[in-house]
Structures are given as C-alpha cells and as structure tokens.
Structure 1
Amino acid sequence: MHPCYAESLSEFGTPRELLRCKGWVLERPIPGLTDRDAMCCYPLFVCQDWYQLHSDLETLEIELVSLALVTDPFGEYDRDYLNRCFEHVVPFKEHFVVDLNQQTDNHVSEHHRRYIRKSLQHVTVELCEEPIDFIDEWAALYQELILRHGIKGITAFSKESFAKQLSVPGLVMFRAVSDDKTLGMLLWYVHGDVAYYHLGSTSPRGLELHASFALFSFALKYFADNGLRWLELGAGAGIGGDGTDGLTRFKRGWSTGTRTAYFCGRIFDPERYAQIVKAKGMTTTDYFPAYRKGEFA
C-alpha cells in the first residue's frame, strides 16, 4: 500500500492511487493504441478499506478500458462484494499460510525439519537491521536467480526497483551466512499481524547447504516472537499445476493451511474492449483482458 512500492514498479506502468480505498494500481498503455488499462501491483492488490473499492472503480470508468487484479488472501472482503465490483471473479491460486499460534513441530514437515538440522550445521541466519545497506548483495543474489530460472517481465526486478522496495516501511530482510559469505536472503513485508513472503534467493553454495530451510525456520520463529499471527507464503509455481512442483512442496511443508486469492477483472468500456479484442485478432480465451493474452508468457 505504500507509494514507494508502487513506484518501484513504474517500469511497467504509471502508479495511480485509489483515493478512497487507499490501494494502488498501475496504468498501462495498450500496445499500438492510445487506450489505457490497469493492473494491480505485483503480486497482490492490497488496500486499507476494501469496502470503498467500488467507489474508486466508478472513477476509473471514463479513463480506462479494463482493470485486472489479484486479491490479498487476508483482505477484509467477501466473494459477494467482489462480484459487486467485478464482472470476472474466479479463484486464482491457493496461497499457503502459517498460523503462528500453532507449534512448529505440529505443522513443519519431517522432511523440512531434517533439512533445517542439516543446514544449521553450516549456516547461521541473522536479521538485516538496515536492509538498504545490503542492496548490492541482494541484487547480486537475485540476478543469479534470474539467470538460473530465465525470469523475465515484471518479476525481473532491477536494482533501481529494489532500492525502492527495500525502503518501504515494514520490509524485513534475513541473511544466511557461512564463513563470512552471504549464501541466501529472504524479503518479507509486515502489515498488521501478517508477514507476507516477498522474495528469496540463494547462491549455488547456499543451495548445496540448504540455506533456504535455515532462513525460513528463522523467519517463523522471528515473526512468532514478535507477536505476529500469520505468515502468507504465496502459492506454487505456474497456474493450474498438479501441486508437485518443488516450490509448492517447499511451501506446503511449512504451512498450516491455505487461503484463496481471487483473480478479478472489470471492463469499464465494453464497446471499446470488444473493438480492441477484434482488432488484435484474438480468438476465444479465458485470459483477461483478452487483448493481452500472452503478455507474461
């Protein structure tokens, strides 16, 4: 919800505050046209007052063709209200969550506990008191992740983007170290009694020493000790998977359950929307907005 975070994504759209609900969206030109649409800031739409969202949407009708967003699983809304605000409302992903009131031995898998023990034989984890001081180390680690997985688009954050993200109030950074070398780092955002997992990366040596297990174990204890109630770990990789990908297995091994994030789409100008879809030569698709199908492929 902080303007600094919206500004960190300005390479992909013009940040616009929704003045009543106090959330942010990114306005974008539709390629090849003078029309504009909007999407939420990656990865979730969050706001202070969900029940003012419909009023903000009414102010966008004369300016934008459409809006697409993914809801915060901890947002204070219900499905009926989303249906009031949007024509398209569908369950998008199940996000893994951790209820910090539960004992970790009751929900952290035996597999994860075993790798925590292995990692802690070689790795120590610490809180980075001033995250911005570690931007060079973090940017280098994340660049390794980009190259390792071929990351492109909005999640291939630049160092300039990270400089803004690390300055957002509520950002918490942890660092895994061995022999005075940084092996891995995690970024979280704390809002209210929820800590949202944002990003993480480990070096090749960190992968060998299973540093991610030490990092997440440290994070669970840190946030529980600081009085938080929930961790939001996000979802697995891709859309419509079978739940067997490594990221899904990793997050499930920490979690106590899931919460649903909804994909929501609204067409402000149906006539113009149909014209653009036709002009782009799009066939029938479930993608929204249809004229942007393939943009994140």
Structure 2
Amino acid sequence: MTDIDRRTLLAGTAAVASIGAVMTGAAAKTMQHTPNLAGKSILITGCSSGFGRLAAEDFARKGAKVFATMRNLPRTAADELRKLAADEKLDLHVIEIDVTDDAQVSAGVAEAERIAGSAIDVLINNAGVSTAGPIEIQDMQATQLLFDTNVFGPQRLMRAVLPAMRAAKSGQIFNITSQLGRVMLPGFGQYSPTKFALEAISEQIAYELVQHNIDVTIIEPGGYPTAIWANANALTQQLLDRADAKHLDGYAAMVEQLRARGNNGGDTDPMDVPNAIAEIIAMPPGTRPLRKPVHPGPKPQLAINKVCAEVQVGWLGASPYGPWIKAVHNV
C-alpha cells in the first residue's frame, strides 16, 4: 500500500493547488500558462495538425523533450516540425507512428525510449478521426476505422509505454476524448461511441495504475476549429457515396444537411487544450484530475462527471479497491 499512502501524503499539496486554482489577475494567468516542462519526455500522437501539432511546438518551447508522432512519412508537416526544431534549437523529434499499426507503435515507442534514455514521462493519445451521419449508415469500413483509431490506437500506445513507466514507478497518460464522449448528439456517427469507450478504458486503467504511481487524465474538449472537421467531412462524403439507398432513405433530411456541411468547430482557440495539458503535467503527482473539460462555452458533461465520481466512490470506496478509487478522485 506504499504507493497509495504516497497519494494520501500529497493531500496537503492538493489543497495548496486548489487555492492556486482560484487565484485571479496577471499572476495567476502567468502561472497557468507558463508551466516549466524542462526535463519531461513527452510522446504525442497525431502531430500533423490540430491539438497535437500545437502541443508539440508549445511543449518543446517550454523545455520538454518532445516526440511528435504522425503517420504517412515523409510529409510536409514532419518537415516543418524538423525545421522548427533546428531553427529554434528545440529538443523535438519526429517519429512515424500510425496508431492503427501494431509494428509502428512498438517501433516508434522503442525509438522514443532509446532517444530519451529511459521511460517516456508523458504519453498524450491525441490522434483521432470522425465521421458523421446516423448509426445505421455507418458501414463496417467506417466503424472499424473509428474504433481502430480512437479506441484501439490509445490502447496500443498505452501497452507500449507502460512496462517502462511501471519500472520507473512514474508517468502520466492523457487520453483526449470529447464532450461527446459523455453526451449524445444525434448524427455524429460512431464518434461518440468510440469516445465513450475511451472514457471507460481511461477511468479503469487510472484505478489500476495507482499502485504504480502513474496518473491518467481524460481531456474532454468541446468544439475547436482544427483539421478534424475537414477530415471528417471528407470521410463522411465518401461514406454517403458508397452507402446503400435502403439505409439512406430513412434519413433524407439529415443526409441532405451532411452533403452541404462545411468546416466547423467555431472560433475558439485550440491552444486551450495544450495549455490545459501543460498545467496538469506541472501538477504534483497524485493530485492530477481524472477528467478535465476544456472549452470556454457550455460543458454539458460536468453533471455526468460529478455523479459518476460520486457513484464510483460510493459503490467501491469501502471495498478493497477503495484506496485506488479515492486516490483517483482525490477524496
């Protein structure tokens, strides 16, 4: 129980952190957005664009050793990151990893650990895809792509990094889900089902890793204007083009809207997500939140998150699993 007792001892640190969270003014803003990541090795998936690309650049500038991974090398995004690293003398390394490829995941993580000279400190499972449309028209090609990328991909990466993390008795894992991993929006295809699955995997493994001093945080973004929208639109149009009329005919109005849909995501700042992750990385081990909703607008999942935490603690808090459950929920 030594590892669980360690979290109990950190309760005082958590209280200090909570006081800091209510600070206002320029000092608090500086603390929130300029954490020192020096000495951290961070592996990020899906770095060709969006949250992954922004995080790779920002974390390297904050002093981390960053492994920016992406698929389909060579590609322009990789060349741009390598040039940035050379120009700014950043400790940033581009590694090819397609999260749907077992061999690439194993080889990519091994290469990152070789360069780092030790276990990876932080894994950020960011790579993801989406399609839209009613569930009925989601054929197995679309369904398998989303589950292979959004669910099996993070599982592959976690299994690859965890042996070394456990040996080091430290580490952090971030899994990026979505508001739609907790609430349902009709017409979003298999996106919500995959993010629901990743939420469950993340929470379960968070409990199991308490004994190894490894923290897990689920990042739940709302809508942001990243490349996932354009990519989703392209995949959705391909799905509609190959769908059978017997499935499409039941959703004429929705299909018409999907065919006319353009890019989306609003005018929010995608840097909100890397900023939130950096702040959590800088927190003391054992005090980090299980879930972090990120969006300047409404966060409809907050009530669900609250009641789920209460149920978990109420159901298992007095069981043999209680110390793990309470450690994860900081109670």
Give the number of the structure whose residues are more often helix, by fraction.
2
Give the number of the structure whose residues are more often strand, by fraction.
1
Q: Which one scores higher on RCO, CA 8 angstroms, separation ≥ 6?
A: 1
TM-score (norm. length: structure 1): 0.28
